[in-house]
Structure 1
Amino acid sequence: MTTSRAAATPSAPERTAAPAAASVPAAPASPPVAKKVPVTRTHHGDTFTDSYEWLREKDNPEVVAHLNAEQAYTDAVTAGQEQLRQDIFNEIKNRTQETDLSVPSRKDGWWYYSRMVEGSAYSIQCRVRAAGDGSTVEHWTPPVVEPGVDVPGEQVLLDGNAEAQGQPFFSLGGAAVTRDGNLYAYAADFAGDELFTIRIKDLRTGGLLPDTIEKAFYGLAFSPDGGTLYYMVADDSWRPYQVKTHILGTPVAEDQVLYQEDDVAMWTGFGLSADRRHLLVSIGCSEFSETRLLAFDSPEKGLQTLIPRGGHILYDAEPFLWKGVEKILLTHDRDAANSMISLVDAAEFAKPLTEQEWATVVAHDEAVRINGATVTATHMVVSLRKDTIERIQATPLEGLGTAAQESGVEPSFDEELYTASMGGSEFDSPVIRVVYTSDFTPPRVYDYVLPTAALPHGELLLRKETPVLGGYRAADYVATREWATADDGTKVPLSVLRRADLPRDGTNAGVVYGYGSYEVSMDPGFGVPRLSLLDRGVVFVIAHVRGGGEMGRHWYEDGKKLRKKNTFSDFIAATDWLAQSGWVDPARIGAMGGSAGGLLMGAVANMAPEKYAAIVAQVPFVDALTTILDPELPLSALEWEEWGNPITDPEVYGYMKHYTPYENVRAAAYPAIAAVTSFNDTRVLYVEPAKWVQELRARSTGTAPIVLKIEMDGGHGGASGRYEGWKTRAWDYAFLADAIGARTLR
């Protein structure tokens, strides 16, 4: 679930048409029953008694024993799905080219890329020298690097498999290389708690420097001279709040704090400007922000604030030098709900906000959401969303913000529903990297030659399409845009995915997937695991519910705070559309969502349990009110801008109290439910689904099993490594497929 809580198939001869309940195995007689230790919580005159809050005691052996018992129960309940899980895992594996590599990206005279090797769980980071000075498009043509073929001069920067050896978990949280190419800093997580150990490798010798930084957060960057490393630190509530500087060769205990954010409701991060002349420190929430710049050519001036947070403007800034004048490209929501882009001389920010002169570059448009903008030496590149589709637009810098400004140019694609996003760019490059995908087009990597007078529309150069093995043909599948009608009349967009040969006879199974928070969009994108459901005759619906960003800023704002219930009713409307579509048997519909989408799963389970045969809630945020009422818990204070602050606002408290899943479990025949979590998850603590499952079992009047699947060595994304990831997805899909009677390949 983004920076806060964030989760997401050739003809066969027959399909299963059995009703959902027929394939759900009977649960063992005695699921784990946690003892009840009543704890009362009183806010705004309301008292809630929580019998299972003691399960939060992570170091309590009784808690660990209970969680292990839950997993044993889950294993017993789902034992009959083992062959189905293995089948789906093998289908994922057999469709994946296991020995593969990324498309090389050029930076400072080197081509950087990663390799995957069959049988290995983690990627290997590599590089090879680049030819030419980078002045022509030809110099930006990646070298031909083939799977399994040695590359002359290849240098291994980091082998994730070697790093992970003997560790219960491994994840690479970021890396940075000095401009001279000599030093490589990388951050590794060995627990799944997203706190990293930073090490620095001397690429000339292959040895590690003695500098080791523990418990860092995401974010790494070197100073231009390579002598200073910038990194982030999170506080005890897992909120990134400090930007620190480490001078290589000095004790880590002497590292200085460049910036510290004390407002518990604000998130902090940093990065380099596109031209790498500035360090940008970004502080913000979902409603306003603040950017501070450190100029590397005059560090003695310290951090300089552009627009203070008191201006209550949500913005991103990109500084660059144009014809000797320092410019700032602003993507902002000042009098522009969907955001717009302005060009401002840096000197203007010394004036009061009301007196500053901002030149409009991209005007506000109710039908277009501006996601962000960056620059190269010659062009502005904008990421925008129109008609729900994410796309890229390039405009020459010459004349930008004046009457002489040229129109933006978009690379064109053939499909109706697709995603085209930035895959990276270098400031002095004549090309930008674009990643393209759709629901049934595997990811393609293009280099887009930026438009010029001689090439007014630019040019797309295909560098790679991710291979899909096993006889995959995109023509065997269909994706359509449909619309459900919510209770208030709002039209909710749906992406409906199915096999092209599926009969519309009302007997098929269906799955509805949703998220709907933090303005995150569920954009079209290819997924190998999902093919296993589609090939079993499942109609897969992605519900683009309010709270997401698919339809612009208003779509997000209409599904947050005191409008959050729209997210849930939209999802139910999507379910009703599927049930009435003629494609499926209404008794064979499952639902899936993760993190904030897990809250969605919990809410719809309470509101309409009869509409679902099964629900898979991945790392579900189901005890949201308890969490947000305690600002000491990870991320809680940061959530106030998304859900409201129930501590100070009784209306918010009352509103949340009526939808949070844990507190609204009722006497009802709940469907088969799997709550999937990880012991070391710091975004949604394991205790939330652990408590929820206990309450569901205690109150359900039905007989369908309710299970807790817990990964004891995993984080928010589950266990580490691609094979474990495939096993996790196979488990989730097998649980759904079994419950909705979709076990057999067509």
Structure 2
Amino acid sequence: MKFKLLYHITVLFTVVSCAPKATTPEPPVAEKIAKELTVHGDTRIDNYYWMNQREDSTVINYLNAENSYTDAMMKHTEEFQTKLFDEMIARIKKTDESVPAKMNGFYYYSRTEGDAEYPLYCRKEGNLEANEQIMLNVPEMAKGFSYFSIGDFSVSESNEILAYSEDTLSRRRYTIKFKSLVDDKVFEDKIENTTGGITWANDNKTVFYTVKHPETLLPYKVFKHVLGTAVEKDELVYEEKDNTFYTSCYKTKSNKYIVVGSTSTLSAEYRFIDASKPNSELNIFQVREKDLEYSIDHFKGDFYIRTNYQAKNFRLMKTPVANTAKENWTEVIPNREDVYLSNFEIFENYLVIEERKNGLNQLRIRRWADNEEHYLDFGEEAYDAWVSTNPEFETDVLRYGYTSLTTPSSTIDYDMGTKVKTVMKQQEVLGDFDKSNYESKRIWATAEDGTKVPISLVYRKDKLKKGTNPLWLSAYGSYGSNSDVYFSSVRLSLLDRGFVVATAHVRGGQEMGRYWYEDGKLLKKKNTFSDFNSCAEYMVAEGYAAKDKVFAWGGSAGGLLMGAISNMRPDLYKGIIAAVPFVDVVTTMLDESIPLTTGEFDEWGNPKNKEYYDYMLSYSPYDNVEAKDYPAMLVTTGLHDSQVQYWEPAKWVAKLRDMKTDNNPLLIKINMDFGHGGASGRFERYHEVALEYVFVLDLAGITK
């Protein structure tokens, strides 16, 4: 069915020297077509439900009209956007190379050349002086595509065959292909609609992969493919019947086992087989139980298990390969009330544990021989550190990553015996960057219920003037995902113009441990939103920001946060940027045909349960738009987004435009070629960043 669309855009007058400023264009006006949505005896009227038709020409015309309006409204900033883009790109080292990682006799690395948007994936045999072999020439592969992404690549145990996956639509539906590393021949085998992950068996001809449901895009089946055979005859290895679980597949670090996983937000179940016997039956590791989470890896005769079994903040356990049910698990690292165990890495002589305490990552090194242990000292107030690529057991060198708000991202090799650190590479920032010009801090705001919420912030020392600086405040606050700090050369464009840039580590993340996550989900979700508002208020009160120059940014579930705060406290913010925002919470969570919905019930609740319906309805941004003043807003989305469907932000903007009582800018930019992650090229993506930055700089009165 076609819908009549009412919109118009005033033709802009040509601007010439000394001519008056162009008239303000009129925004598109979407027609209201009432759709009654009744659940639990409650009826909601959705006037823009009709936008849920990606292929409809009327919808496409409307989205294009919105883009034209945004372009017209931002036309006066085009020169500034170009300047910012060029400024950001000028700081990036164009010809660059990653630190090689040794695996199975080869050194693997990626490198970029000149203005190329994509990397070359390469390897050298035996030593770094050997001849380079380019495995994937992505700049060549990407020609002719507006979007191109390599999902994964994996080399067979014989080192002779490369399997790789590619996405050319930005829907995260990857096609797996194969290539000989002996003669560069590309095999005819082609596996479509996969998650992109590839797991080789040890026979050098069998690969395991996961496919997505054609409608919901949930990964729900694991198949195995034998190279050279018909893909349509691939054997089904495992099918997940519960649509709240996602399937996955990987090989243990030991290369001895292939693991098939099935996980939901709060539960896990794994099966495994000998990687040298790909045709054997799967063995179940531990049957799924409600609220039992675990993950596994293998070392010598045991599996090691990170789990929340009788451990709120997780603990590390192990069990013999022959007896994997939880009654056989024995403790290696206990649960601690103030420390969250987030990951582990096993070496021949050492165990490395990633922990989180007081919101910061720690790396703990324990020697197997005598349990002697120590922590790495990072020496900064706000930072992030993580275990990097460590494919081999037989080494005493841990490779880890490190960054802070003032320290460029670094790859470091740490000798766990001698305790000597070697910086293998630090991100090079071109131009006049001087770390000493900037200062970072960690401060604590007080939430409405008295909880202390950490904030990480950075500013340029000579630009900080109490109570006058504009503030860029961001957060995520969902899924237990942590908003760890990091260095950004792009961010210098804000800092050098006087912005204070901060991250609010609100509840819903896991920065402060498991309880931090549980206090910001389901029926406690509003803590995420009120925490953010408290952080904004605190930074103003402490003089880090001018009261009338507070800007907020959030993406995806962080976009939900942006929508919620715009309804709750629009007076706090001068401007808000909501990137690919999840804003139509109730309608989306009621529609199980929408990708990812069923797997989210443990995060948001199932609105088919009235208690959850009522609570979601009380904060869902789209459902709570009112006739009142809102801040200036820029919203972004992608037509092919598989995570948050484009119609959520499109409907939200249409409703806001119809109801809001202010004259502040309300803009939406729809990327008609890309999805959730935006552009795929390493430079192309900064055009959108430049638009976002100029939007807030313009509102802050900064025009150059």
Cα root mean square deviation, aligned: 1.6
Deviations 1:67-110 (A, max 9, x none): 11110000001112212211221121111111101011111111
Answering whether residue 404 of structure 2 is matched by residue 449 of structure 1, we say: no
Of 172, 189, 212 in structure 2, the residue corresponding to residue 211 of structure 1 is 189
Per the TM alignment, residue 29 of structure 1 is displaced from its structure 2 partner at its CA by 4.1
Q: Where does structure 2 lack aligned partners over 5 or more consecutive residues?
A: 1-20
In the TM superposition, residue 159 of structure 1 has moved relative to its aligned partner by 1.2
Matched residue type, 2:659: R
1:373 Cα deviation after fit? 1.8
Range with greater deviation from structure 2 (495-504 or 389-398): 389-398
Whether the 8 Å CA contact 2:442–2:456 is kept in 1: the answer is yes
In 2, Cα distance between the equivalents of 1:489 and 1:596? 24
User: What is the aligned-residue identity percentage?
Assistant: 37
Does residue 391 (structure 1) correspond to residue 362 (structure 2)? The answer is yes
- Paired residue for 1:422, among 374, 387, 394? 387
* Distance in structure 2 (CA, Å) of the matches to 1:503 and 1:545: 25
Higher mean C-alpha displacement, 678-687 vs 225-234: 225-234
Matching of residue 513 in structure 1 with residue 479 in structure 2: no
Aligned counterparts of 2:303 and 2:702: Cα–Cα separation in 1: 55
1:651 and 2:611 correspond: yes
User: Hey, what's the Cα distance between the residues in 2 that align with 1:600 and 1:311?
Assistant: 28
2:616 corresponds to 1:638: no
Aligned to 1:14: none
Match of 2:223 in 1: 244
- 2:6 alignment partner in structure 1: none
TM-score, scaled relative to structure 1: 0.89
Q: CA deviation at 1:578?
A: 1.7
Distance across 1 between alignment mates of 2:258 and 2:358: 34
Q: Give the letter aligned to residue 377 of structure 1.
A: E
Indicate conservation of the 8 Å contact 1:275/1:320, yes or no. Answer: yes
Moved more, 311-320 or 661-670: 311-320
- C-alpha separation between the residues in 1 aligned to 2:628 and 2:126? 64
The CA deviation at 1:448 is 2.0
Q: Single out whichever of 686-695 and 420-429 deviates more from structure 2.
A: 420-429
The amino acid of 2:310's aligned partner reads D
How many Å separate the matches in 1 of 2:77 and 2:598? 40
Query: Which residue number corresponds to residue 223 of structure 1?
Result: 201
Q: Give yes or no for contact 1:515–1:522 (8 Å, CA) kept in 2.
A: yes
Of stretches 34-43 and 97-106 in structure 1, the one that deviates more from structure 2 is 34-43
Q: 1:310 to 1:583 in 2, by over 3 A?
A: closer
Q: CA deviation at 1:305?
A: 1.3
> Equivalents in 2 of 1:686, 1:429: separation in Å?
48
Answering whether residue 60 of structure 2 is matched by residue 82 of structure 1, we say no
**Equivalent in the alignment of 2:17:** none
Structure 1 counterpart SS, 2:273 = strand
1:593 alignment partner, one of 550, 554, 559: 554
Q: Where do 4+ consecutive residues of structure 1 move more than 6 Å?
A: none
TM-score, length-scaled by structure 2: 0.95
Note the C-alpha offset of 1:429. Answer: 3.4
**Residue 644 of structure 2: aligned partner:** 684
Aligned with 2:303 (options 319, 324, 328): 328
How far apart are 1:260 and its partner, in Å? 1.0
2-structure distance, mates of 1:549, 1:34: 40
Distance 2:226 2:90 in 1: 47
Map of 2:374 onto structure 1: 409
Pair 1:126 & 2:122 matched? yes
Cα distance between partner residues in 1 of 2:81 and 2:598: 39
Question: How far has the Cα of 1:671 moved from its partner?
Answer: 1.2
Kindly indicate whether the alpha-carbon contact (under 8 Å) linking 1:411 and 1:460 is maintained by their aligned counterparts in 2.
no
Q: Report SS of the residue matched to 2:324.
A: helix
Q: Is the 8 A contact 2:266 2:290 kept in 1?
A: no
Deviations 1:380-403 (A, max 9, x none): 2222112211132232334xxxxx
Question: After the TM superposition, which of the residue ranges 93-102 and 339-348 deviates more from structure 2?
Answer: 339-348
Aligned residue in 1 for 2:626: 666
Q: Which amino acid letter does the alignment assign opposite residue 348 of structure 1? A: N
Whether the 8 Å CA contact 1:619–1:684 is kept in 2: the answer is: yes
**Alignment partner, residue 198 of structure 1:** 176
The Cα of 1:412 is off from its aligned counterpart by 2.4
Pairwise CA distance, 1:621? 0.4
Within 5 A, what are the aligned runs for 1:493-642? Answer: 493-642=454-603
- Alpha-carbon distance in structure 2 between the residues aligned to 1:373 and 1:521: 17
CA distance in 1, matches of 2:22, 2:256: 63
* Residue 737 of structure 1: how far off its partner (Å): 1.6
- Kindly state the Cα deviation for residue 504 of structure 1 after the two structures are TM-superposed: 2.8
Query: Which residue of 420, 425, 428 corresponds with 1:464?
Result: 425
Can you list the C-alpha shifts for 1:14-52, whole angstroms capped at 9, x where unaligned?
xxxxxxxxxxx9983421111222111111111111111
Are residues 26 and 693 of structure 1, via their aligned partners in 2, closer, same or farther at CA, if it must alter by over 3 Å?
A: farther
CA contact (8 A) 2:169 2:673 kept: yes
Q: CA deviation at 1:742?
A: 3.4
* Structure 2 counterpart of 1:76, one-letter code: A
Structure with the larger RCO, 1 or 2 (CA within 8 Å, 6+ apart): 1
Q: Deviations over 1:85-143 (max 9, x none)?
A: 11221121111111101011111111111111111100111111124xxxxxxxxxxx4
Structure 1 letter corresponding to 2:699: A
Which residue number corresponds to residue 296 of structure 1?
275
Match of 1:137 in 2: none
Question: Would the alpha carbon gap of residues 55 and 168 (structure 1) be closer, same or farther in structure 2, given more than 3 Å must change?
Answer: same
Task: Please say which of residues 173-182 and 295-304 is displaced more in the overlay.
Answer: 295-304
Counterpart Cα distance in 2 of 1:500 and 1:50: 49
Give the superposition deviation at 1:295: 1.6
Partner residue of 1:436?
Answer: 402
CA displacement 1:477-521 (0-9 Å, x = unmatched): 111011111111111100121111124332221111111001111
Deviation at 1:475, TM superposition (A): 0.9
Partner residue, 2:689: 729
- Partner SS for 1:508: coil
Whole-angstrom distance in 1 between the partners of 2:24 and 2:226:
59
Q: How many corresponding residue pairs? A: 682
Whether the 8 Å CA contact 1:26–1:77 is kept in 2: the answer is: no
